[in-house]
Amino acid sequence: MWPKYEILTPQAVGSSTFTPAPLDAQLTMPEVWDYNGTTNAAHANYVYVDPKTDEPVYLTWGKTVPAAYRAGHIALNAPGVKDAKEKPKFALLGVTDTITYATVAIGVIRAGFEIFLLSPRTSPQVLAHLLRKQGSTHIFVSPDAATQALIKEAQVVLGKELVVLPVPSFEELYSETPVEAPPKFRPDLDELAIILHSSGSTSLPKVVPYPHRALILLGILPYHSQYDHCTNVAWHVPPMFHLLGVGQLSITAFSGATISVYPPVQPPLPPTPDTALGHAVKTNCQFAIFPPILLHAFMMKAKETLPLLAKFKAIAYGGGPLNRTVGDAMVAAGVKISVVYGMTEVLATSSFIPAPSPHGWEWVHWDRALTIHYRDLGHGTAEPFIMASAHTQAWDHESEWHRNNLNNIEIDGVKGYTTSDVIVRHPTDPNAFKIIGRVDDQITLSTGEKTNPTPLEGILMTDPLIGQVITFGRGRPHGGLLIQPKPGPYFSESTTDADRAEFLDKIWPTVEKMNAYAPSFSRVMRSMVIVVQPQRPFVITQKGTPLRSEALVKYEAEIDKAYEAFEESADGVVEPPSSWEDEESVKEYVRRVVKTVIPSVEEDNADLFAFGCDSLRAAWIRNAIAHALGHEKGASLARELVYEHPTIASLSSLLVGSSTHSSSTDAKVAELEAMIAKYTASFPSPPSSSSKSSGGGVAGLIAKFTNLGTASSALAAKSSDKKVVLVTGTTGGLGSNLLALLLKDPAVEKVYAVNRAGTKALKDRHEENFKDRGLDVELLKNGKVVFLEASTSKPGLGIDAKVYDEIRTSVTHIIHNAWPVNFNYTIKTFEPAVQSVKELVDLALKAPKTPKFLFVSSVSVVRIPDATPGKPTTETYVDDASLVAGMGYGESKFVAESILKKAAESTPLRPVSVRVGQLSGGLNGNWNASDWVPAIVRSAGELKCLPDAGSEMSISWVRLDEAAQILLEMAEQTDAPVLHLVHPKPVKWESLFVTFSQQVGAPLVPYGEWLARIEQVAVDDKGAVDVAKARAIPAVRLLNFFRAIGGQSGEGIGGFTGVEELKTDEARRVSQTMRAMEPLQAADVEKWVAYWRKAGHVAA
């Protein structure tokens, strides 16, 4: 049964010549053409400009249908048809006018056959492949020499001869001689009618079947438009072997649209900007479909074209992106443009020539009958999947309305098709989206960041000197550009290297404009721009775009050379200062070094990591400085140089006078003292605080953030049985498990899930995280959770004042879990995280009834090497800041604990700080691949070994799901202010790592030997980190961490694995789950490795 179809805009309203056929599949497509040949015989389906009179000529259904019958008889009477044991399969390979082409296609289908519409631009090998796929027996071929040669060569490749039929001429088809209709033909809706093929730009083309159902679905698309299209529509350029071309066969048949095309002459008129617009105007078109390349061309003659284009009711473009500057200029001139979106494999997925979106001309609106699934691509982008069926409550569908022509995925039992398009969804309109590129074009950097080159290349293409652009960088730490100049002095046989350098100088402002628009990880440095040589130009596709894969192979050597120069040597990229004694000269040198890899940094005191600096860029900066200093002094530079001095100013101060020794404890203390001096001026300690707060930087931060204020006087409010919980950081592993448990708890009434703003909706992020971690996604739909995007380091948490007040007056529990994890960062980089503790404390103290407060701290507060050697650490606060100096992460957690300690001493708040040890995988083995343990295992393939920390070393990792349950139990008590969350039943290192060894096929070696292997393969004689190795060996990125926690023998690694020196008496007292925990075993290891393999982090 055909489903009910909602009509938004009836077609042919008021037309005296066209009565639409039924939309409920009472008539199949061949029957609709028959119907139009009688009922609508006087209605024009084509209009063209007569080449002789320059006047419009209308062609009616009364003439087109008989012409199609003539084509059908040619097929029926072709050699081998009548005696065929199996139904013949026809193809059409033609360079001919639109009317003739379409008439032949209609005729063959009306005669009861399928027809394969082939591109004449393919090679003989590809054509043979397509014909073999269909099993073609007969093929119509146009008379031009190129097409005739193509079919001959293809048949040789195919190894058999087809019945080759000449494409009949327009005059032959549209003769005045009487013709009878072929025998009545009513196909099944799923019977094949047309075959199209994909472009094959990255592989052999796919064969895409179009059943009769698809032709009907195309035909009724105008009924979901905002316009009545029973008028003249310009359709001059889309070729008939593309979806946009095939669409006219059905759309004009169902809506009464009169398609304006080029005149039926042979050879056909080539499409040009002048003829396309000129013929559209001369045939009085109210609507038009133009490819983006024509819209770009129209802008070259804007004064002439824009007034004409502005007269159309609507102009749609499709098949490729439109440059933003072109679109903006057209809209500003009153041109009403919109996007028509579809693909060969799925049909059109937006309405036909839609009205301009209220959100802007770039936004597309899904056809409302579709079901869309989104795959998150990060940074606010997604890939839409078109699902094969759509059932919507609003429409009361009785059966499937939409079926894809091809499906290549299955989600929850429903088939669908991956579009490979990269889109941005509208923040408030779920039906609207913007296309920004292709997944195929998307470049995944070695850092995991994804660069979408399409909008960035679009900015570059606005430069009048640039002809084509290709972005490269897949699998590299950052991207680069291949730029082909437009023909002229910079792109000719006489172009020299000096000319190319001059070209780069002239276009550099445009590159800087692109960098200003791009996210930090997508910005391009000058040394990563390669100017294409005229002897090796890009190959240009049918759509006028460069063939990326071919160009990347062609320029592979140049690309590799650029990376070698940039990443590995860093030598001579920036000229050293004239004197290492001159402060300003050194600072200018550091500025230039930093800006080479982080061009967005403007202030000398800006934290480089806040502007996109990562481990690879930090290594490059350090390497560049080491080379400039020379062998002896360069080798003495600390490998963590940039992490310890994360600003231009601090780097410069260190280097002045060639002060190239590693940061000493004294230098660290001096830095911390400077921080205390900075913050105690405006944040004096409360009267009960000790004057010792001026003793160091860590203490200074404590002083800064312990101006806590006073609690509300309404502390005696009656307690409610229901819990209202605010929990931060619920998109991570621990946070997701905490949220799942809270949502399961019947005593919890509401959960505020607070996270930083991201590039996609929080709900979507949580759903994906729950699925990835094996948690019940349905819990997110039970009405308890409120997703909040917040900046917790800002006053009022950076959220709406009403929402803040709602939380303040109702919250019973605060669980602060969110914290940046980077063991290379300094305390300065962690400062916003520290401030978030202060803001949450303020929230708690402003509440009518002081809530319970749990802070997820870290064992790193008490496990800095040599802090307390041989002395068991009790579950109490650490009072001496000097004991934690050395690692920014531990320092930051210590500062946070100290703030909470001060709060407990001077306010009614009774916070609990839980020092969490190493957490392992959760329910389904999910363990963050960037964590230090996965990094060890992932590096085994390159290092050919795993570390053995010794027979006495113990592991006290806690399973993720158990840790979440324990934390919630700890949050209910207030008499134990400090607790340790490590496994109370540790196991020996060897017991787990033997299983790791068996799973990945790498032997265990002493920890010191393992560490030496990393340094041997990743560090040169100047102490510089080999950036390329850092990409291949994840452990290299954490080299400083492994040195810090393990020394050379592995004895210190117990600080992150062992339990002997961490007391857990109080923790076990308050947590039943902790008391009942089972030891880790081989099955846990197998589950973790299985997850990493499934995720592609460990080789199968």
Kindly state whether residues 890 and 1027 are assigned to the same domain. Answer: no
Nearest alpha carbon to residue 927 among 972, 965, 957, 889: 957
Which range (446-460, 570-584, 674-688, 828-842) has the least confidence?
674-688
Q: Are strands 912-916 and 852-858 parallel, antiparallel or unpaired?
A: parallel
pLDDT at 972 over 90: yes
Calculate the alpha carbon distances from 137 to 295, 733, 842 in Å. Answer: 40, 59, 80
Q: What is the CATH number of the domain that holds 893?
A: 3.40.50.720
Q: What is the CATH number of the domain that holds 593?
A: 1.10.1200.10
* Omega before residue 795 within 30° of 0, cis: no
Residue 454 lies in a domain: yes
The whole-chain average pLDDT of the chain stands at: 83
CB 65 within 8 A of CB 145: no
CB 82 within 8 A of CB 137: no
* Structure confidence at residue 639 as a pLDDT band (50, 70, 90): low
* Structure confidence at residue 1045 as a pLDDT band (50, 70, 90): low
Please, which residues have CB within 8 angstroms of residue 726's CB and are 6 or more apart in sequence?
Answer: 751, 752, 754, 807, 811, 813, 814, 815, 840, 843
pLDDT at 1093 over 60: yes
CA 431 to chain centre: 19
What does the alpha-carbon distance between residue 416 and residue 343 come to, in Å, rounded to a whole number? 13
Predicted confidence (pLDDT) per residue in 89-127, tens digit: 999 999 999 999 999 999 999 999 999 999 887 878 889
| Residue 371 vs residue 38, higher pLDDT | 38
**Strand locations in 66-143 (E):** 90-93, 115-118, 138-141
Kindly state whether residues 899 and 1031 are assigned to the same domain. Answer: no
Kindly state whether residues 617 and 706 are assigned to the same domain. Answer: no
CB 1045 within 8 A of CB 1011: no
Predicted structure pTM score: 0.51
Which range (387-391, 947-951, 1068-1072) has the least confidence?
387-391
- Segment 532-536 shows an average pLDDT of 92
* Structure confidence at residue 578 as a pLDDT band (50, 70, 90): confident
Kindly state whether residues 57 and 186 are assigned to the same domain. Answer: yes
- Segment 430-451 shows an average pLDDT of 73
- Residue 893, pLDDT score: 87
* Structure confidence at residue 334 as a pLDDT band (50, 70, 90): very high
* Structure confidence at residue 1031 as a pLDDT band (50, 70, 90): low
pLDDT at 392 over 70: no
Residue ending a domain, choose from 258, 290, 322: 290
Nearest alpha carbon to residue 235 among 36, 46, 13, 365: 46
Hey, how many other C-beta atoms are within 10 angstroms of the C-beta on 565? 15
- Residue 571, pLDDT score: 59
- Residue 584, pLDDT score: 85
- Residue 1062, pLDDT score: 82
What does the alpha-carbon distance between residue 611 and residue 431 come to, in Å, rounded to a whole number? 34
- Segment 515-536 shows an average pLDDT of 82
- Residue 345, pLDDT score: 77
Please, which residues have CB within 8 angstroms of residue 855's CB and are 6 or more apart in sequence?
Answer: 816, 837, 896, 897, 900, 911, 912, 913, 914
* Structure confidence at residue 1023 as a pLDDT band (50, 70, 90): low
- Residue 132, pLDDT score: 94
* Structure confidence at residue 163 as a pLDDT band (50, 70, 90): very high
Q: Are strands 381-387 and 409-411 parallel, antiparallel or unpaired?
A: unpaired
- Residue 693, pLDDT score: 38
Instruction: For residue 297, give the 3-state DSSP assignment.
Output: helix
pLDDT at 1065 over 70: yes
- Residue 611, pLDDT score: 73
pLDDT at 399 over 50: no
The encoded tokens of residue 1009 equal 């030997």
pLDDT at 698 over 60: no
Residue 677 lies in a domain: no
- Residue 1049, pLDDT score: 47
pLDDT at 47 over 90: yes
Kindly state whether residues 500 and 587 are assigned to the same domain. Answer: no
pLDDT at 703 over 60: no
CB 622 within 8 A of CB 570: no
What does the alpha-carbon distance between residue 594 and residue 597 come to, in Å, rounded to a whole number? 6
Residue 687 lies in a domain: no
Kindly state whether residues 939 and 829 are assigned to the same domain. Answer: no
- Residue 664, pLDDT score: 47
Predicted confidence (pLDDT) per residue in 823-835, tens digit: 667 777 788 888 8
Kindly state whether residues 248 and 156 are assigned to the same domain. Answer: yes
Residue 355 lies in a domain: no
> In this structure, is the dihedral angle defined by the CA atoms of residues 242, 245, 246 and 251, taken in order, positive or negative?
positive
* Structure confidence at residue 855 as a pLDDT band (50, 70, 90): very high
- Residue 1027, pLDDT score: 57
Residue ending a domain, choose from 256, 290, 324: 290
- Residue 857, H or E segment: strand 852-858
Beta bridge partners of 415: 410
CB 48 within 8 A of CB 23: no
| Residue 403 vs residue 649, higher pLDDT | 649
Calculate the alpha carbon distances from 143 to 83, 166, 1074 in Å. Answer: 27, 7, 83
| Secondary structure letter of residue 528 according to DSSP | G
Nearest alpha carbon to residue 787 among 771, 763, 764, 806: 763
Kindly state whether residues 143 and 224 are assigned to the same domain. Answer: yes
pLDDT above 70 coverage of the chain, percent: 83
Q: How many domains does the chain have?
A: 5
Q: What is the 3-state secondary structure (H, E, C) of 144-175?
A: CHHHHHHHHHHHHHHCCCCEEEECCCHHHHCC
Residue 351 lies in a domain: no
Residue ending a domain, choose from 882, 916, 950: 916
**Torsion, Cα of 688, 691, 696, 699 (10° steps):** 0
Range of the domain at 454: 443-569
| Residue 1037 vs residue 107, higher pLDDT | 107
Please, which residues have CB within 8 angstroms of residue 80's CB and are 6 or more apart in sequence?
Answer: 88, 137, 138, 163
Kindly state whether residues 82 and 153 are assigned to the same domain. Answer: yes
Which range (182-191, 495-504, 678-687) has the least confidence?
678-687
Kindly state whether residues 766 and 858 are assigned to the same domain. Answer: yes
Predicted confidence (pLDDT) per residue in 720-774, tens digit: 568 999 999 999 899 999 999 999 999 999 999 999 876 668 888 899 889 989 9
Q: What is the CATH number of the domain that holds 494?
A: 3.30.300.30
Which range (159-173, 605-619, 828-842) has the least confidence?
605-619
Beta bridge partners of 854: 815, 912
Residue 157 lies in a domain: yes
Q: What is the 3-state secondary structure (H, E, C) of 783-840?
A: CCEEEEECCCCCHHHHCCHHHHHHHHHHCCEEEECCCCCCCCCCCCCCHHHHHHHHHH
* Structure confidence at residue 1022 as a pLDDT band (50, 70, 90): low
pLDDT above 90 coverage of the chain, percent: 42
**Torsion, Cα of 738, 739, 741, 744 (10° steps):** 170
Kindly state whether residues 805 and 763 are assigned to the same domain. Answer: yes
CA 209 to chain centre: 30
Nearest alpha carbon to residue 235 among 99, 119, 348, 85: 99
Q: What single-letter amino acid sits at 965? A: Q
Q: What is the CATH number of the domain that holds 178?
A: 3.40.50.12780
Most trustworthy range by pLDDT among 64-73, 246-255, 309-318, 589-598: 64-73
Query: Counting Cβ atoms within 10 Å, is residue 231 exposed (0-12), middle (13-18) or buried (19+)?
Result: middle
* Structure confidence at residue 402 as a pLDDT band (50, 70, 90): low
- Segment 187-216 shows an average pLDDT of 82
**Strand locations in 20-105 (E):** 44-49, 56-60, 90-93
Q: 986's torsion region: left (phi>0), alpha (psi -120 to 50) or beta?
A: beta
pLDDT at 716 over 60: no
* Structure confidence at residue 815 as a pLDDT band (50, 70, 90): very high
- Residue 965, pLDDT score: 96
| Residue 167 vs residue 879, higher pLDDT | 167
Residue 404 lies in a domain: no
As a residue count, the chain comes to: 1100
What does the alpha-carbon distance between residue 441 and residue 451 come to, in Å, rounded to a whole number? 9
- Segment 424-452 shows an average pLDDT of 76
Kindly state whether residues 611 and 463 are assigned to the same domain. Answer: no
What is the arrangement of strands in the sheet containing 207-211, beginning at the earlier edge strand? 163-166, 138-141, 90-93, 115-118, 192-197, 207-211
* Structure confidence at residue 61 as a pLDDT band (50, 70, 90): very high
- Residue 595, pLDDT score: 85
Residue 194 lies in a domain: yes
Nearest alpha carbon to residue 977 among 855, 881, 1083: 855
- Residue 66, H or E segment: helix 61-76
